[in-house]
A = this chain, B = another copy of it.
Amino acid sequence: MATSIKDIARAAGVSHSTVSRALNNSPLVSQATRDRIWRLAQEMGYSPNAGARGLVMRRTCTVGVVVTTIADPWAAEVVEGIEEVAYDHGYSVILAASQDDPEREVSAVETLRSQRVDAVIVTSSRVGALHQKRLGAAGVPVILLNSHSQQLTPQTFSVRVDDVHGGRLATEHLLALGHRRIAHVAGPVGHSTTADRLAGYRMALAAANIPFDPALVCEGTGRPPGGEQALARLLALPERPTAVFCYNDMTAIGLLRAARLAGVNVPHDLAVVGFDDIPFAAYVSPSLTTIAQPKLEMGQRAMKMALALMENSAAERVSNIVLEGRLVVRESTGPQP
């Protein structure tokens, strides 16, 4: 049984209203009693009941964040950015994992709604529009971060990286190195990021007047094993590619591993580019050339957007932020070591 405002009131011989005001530094209470009450609260180990406060204040100073899984290094860094801004503004963050399962994603958002979070940021959403409907109606802003589904509604708020641009950047880098036969390991089917990065890849090829060869594109999963399997398929081709652009770093890392086991020298026999620039991209061997997403910034921007929507709902509604990725050249495409 935690000590409440009333316990302090009893100990101080005042009403609980006075205690409430004192602890909120209201000018309506004299300096003397204010000090006395603060000291007492300290001694009694008082901690305000956030639930009760949220009840009357109609806000909880809490935002919910949905990620596919906490073990995803991409998500981790994005959340880091969110946390940072949230902390600076006195907001707490509640994390919920969707396990990349649409059903659990809905359940996660439902939990957050029950907690009466003041805003929700959903990363890598599969069913973004749905949340908008349930939460938006209740006045809770929803922000989609790198959503996998196309944004349909016009009142959608989102932050995302320009995947088409990134895919193009990656492919152009390989083209500039002289590669002409460039493969692509795609991401999970149905995700719009998968389609966009592929589109960027095709765009770059087209600009270089290289015909698109469907045989050079193979499906991946976005995780290392997907990359390992992809390499096998690429090596089985009658005419092997000299370079490959992978959907993301995890895929590329799996592919690198398979290459090493298969005796394929990277970058000599095969140049590899990833996407995301997760922390480990710099530490695999050879280190990975990749498209760096401004993950921290994306988190920060999303949180700032959330703050703006909460504080002043009539604010200028910058509804969609698109950031560009940046090419980071490392050994996997570099000159032969």
Contacts and interface: CB of A to CB of B under 8 A. Distances in A.
Contact of A97 (B83, B138, B256, B287): B83
Interface residues of A, number: 53
Contacts of A92: 94, 96, 111, 115
Interface stretch (A21-29, A49-57, A268-276): A49-57
A184 to B, nearest CB: 21
Contact of A253 (B60, B257, B283): B283
A134 B287 CA distance: 47
A70 B60 contact: no
Interface in A66-80: 69-73, 76-77, 79-80
Identical chains in the assembly: 2
23 contacts: A1-B139, A2-B116, A45-B134, A45-B137, A47-B110, A47-B113, A49-B114, A51-B51, A52-B55, A69-B76, A70-B76, A70-B79, A70-B80, A71-B77, A71-B279, A73-B73, A92-B94, A93-B95, A94-B94, A224-B283, A256-B283, A280-B280, A284-B285
Contacts of A48: 114
Contacts of A287: 257
A74 to B, nearest CB: 10
A21 to B, nearest CB: 19
A260 interface: yes
Contacts of A222: none
A52 to B, nearest CB: 6
